[in-house]
Chains A and B, each alone.
Chain A
């Protein structure tokens, strides 16, 4: 993927907010800014990882990109065409080539209908009227995700976690999307099942030239699956760049803490890794300037002044911290 290839998906300064309503005479519900000015690009055939802890807004970005949630501000261009600023119904239509695989695919299937029917319906909704074409496409897709066509007559509750994930994939793949948003595709899966599902995801990307937005909290999975990764904290991207580069030389203090905290297969690394103090704060009461400074070991007065911009520090590698130089090289993990 050469650098100057036009981006398939461009998102600029995306803002999404929840709450703000007021129950009759009840307390004023606080406005939660789940996504606070996020920009990112997706190149054709690329896999971009969105990583961060709960409440960082990674799933909200995914749902806003898909069009299920309406963005408060920011623009979004799909293959050059502006698709933002629409009500959810039109937004979904304009972004038909983006599809979404839910974190719990079992719950994303109607318990009353068989797998075959669910896949068939996806095609009918997208206007594939000819019955035989639908059947062949369904069989191909079940085969592509490693499921025997006999699964057509099975029901969601009869499937194992791994099988449900594959049906979730098959269900959107029959629509031949260009961009697939994967929301925590491996959470809750055992190691061996996770490996098979990741294998299928990898294989499908290669075979159908898909582009992935890969949302996850599992760093080792993202390191293995995505060329580029964006680290999220409280609705903002704090660091973005090539996965290899970021995992080798993390710049932003939060990225360093996150990578250090992630369990590795090397024994005995507990004693020398400092734990990040405090809990991930709620996005309702954001502090001024850099929102990570209450927990940052390198916080200084200037961190509170303004929101740190994403500064480029290497080939497509940038981080949002005003004290990058002063912090210097990352301490050996």
Chain B
């Protein structure tokens, strides 16, 4: 298929895909990678703040816990949080955007005004406020992130649907007498699906980053969770001597988010329907 050939030529996108698959595998088989599961939560104090060594690949943190084990377990947490948030954001944003884009009654106006209000406040600030008001903890952080991210999907879908709705082929279909629902789901949705996929991929990376910030600020995951942001915050005081406890979780964030960004970037070029369907 032409699309696969073109994708393979785009090296950064392939690299992105490889990273994502690696991260997913790590998340899925985390327990196998860590000999004893409780090394994640309990470490012996005497092994405290040890540099990376054969025994502790990433060294140990201030409580003597194996940084490598915590980073690996953190992968699972980060992916699950990001997936839930993006899924929730899509579940709210896409139907709203679809409806607002295709119809032009007061309903669509209302949805777009509400979206504008949510987008009027920088996302993290709003998320912080919502998270705090709902009581701290991972669940409220995830709800806050989803609540502040759905408007981005809504606006993307709205713009795409409006563009497609004014396209000539929709007018031609109306000319043929096709029903609105048929046009919407058989024709508009496939043309809109691609930008949603691109947005979702970039969204995964973005959400992992934002969750890490919440974790760092102590608003997201609570100790002893192996959350990357939290790990960085906890080991910050022991700098610059024990640099490893800070560096490796940060690198984990960097590589994972990089993977999603590269793959999302590559997808954006492939969104052209010409490639997707021809021989």
Contact = CB atoms under 8 A, between A and B. Distances in A.
A125 B274 contact: no
Given A112-B277, A155-B277, A68 B169 contact: no
B270 to A, nearest CB: 14
9 contacts: A68-B171, A92-B177, A96-B177, A102-B172, A112-B277, A121-B178, A121-B186, A125-B182, A172-B176
Interface stretch (A103-111, A200-208, A275-283, A304-312): A103-111
Interface in A162-184: 172, 175
B277 A110 contact: no
Interface in B251-279: 273-274, 276-278
A125 B273 contact: no
Given A111-B191, A155-B278, A126 B176 contact: yes
Contacts of A104: 168
B168 A68 contact: no
Contact of B169 (A96, A110, A125, A126): A110
Interface residues of B, number: 21
B174 interface: yes
Interface in A117-160: 121-122, 125-126, 155, 157-158
A109 B170 CA distance: 8
- Secondary structure at the B interface, as helix, strand, loop or mixed, is helix
Contact of B168 (A92, A107, A125, A172): A107
A112 B174 contact: no
From A99, A100, A112, A172, name the one whose CB has the most chain B CB atoms within 10 angstroms.
A112
Interface of B: 167-169, 171-178, 182, 186-187, 190-191, 273-274, 276-278
A112 B191 contact: yes
Given A107-B168, A122-B176, 7 more contacts: A102-B172, A110-B169, A110-B187, A110-B191, A111-B274, A125-B177, A126-B177
Contacts of A157: 273-274, 278
Query: Top 6 closest A-B pairs, CB basis?
Result: A108-B172, A107-B168, A111-B273, A157-B274, A108-B168, A112-B190
B187 A112 contact: yes
A99 B273 contact: no
A320 B186 CA distance: 48
Contact of A66 (B167, B175, B182, B273): B175
Contacts of A55: none
B277 to A, nearest CB: 6
Given A107-B169, A108-B168, A110-B169, A68 B174 contact: yes
B81 to A, nearest CB: 34
A125 B175 contact: no
A93 interface: yes
A109 B178 CA distance: 14
A100 B171 CA distance: 11
Contacts of B169: 107-111
A125 B278 CA distance: 25
Given A110-B187, A112-B187, A158 B278 contact: yes
Contacts of B191: 110-112
